[in-house]
Structure 1
Amino acid sequence: MNFHFQDDYFNSYNVIDHLKVDKRFGTEEHFKELIDAAHNRDMYVVMDMPVSSVSTQHPWFRDGDAEVFITASEGQAAFGQPNYYQFLSDNTTK
Structure 2
Amino acid sequence: MIHVYASCGVWELVVSSGWSFNVDKKKGGRLLALELKSSLEELQKNVIEDFGFEETDADLDLNYLPIGLINSSKCPPVIIRNSRQV
TM-score class, shorter-chain normalisation, is under 0.3
The structure with the larger Rg is 1
Q: Which has the bigger relative contact order, CA under 8 A and spacing at least 6?
A: 2
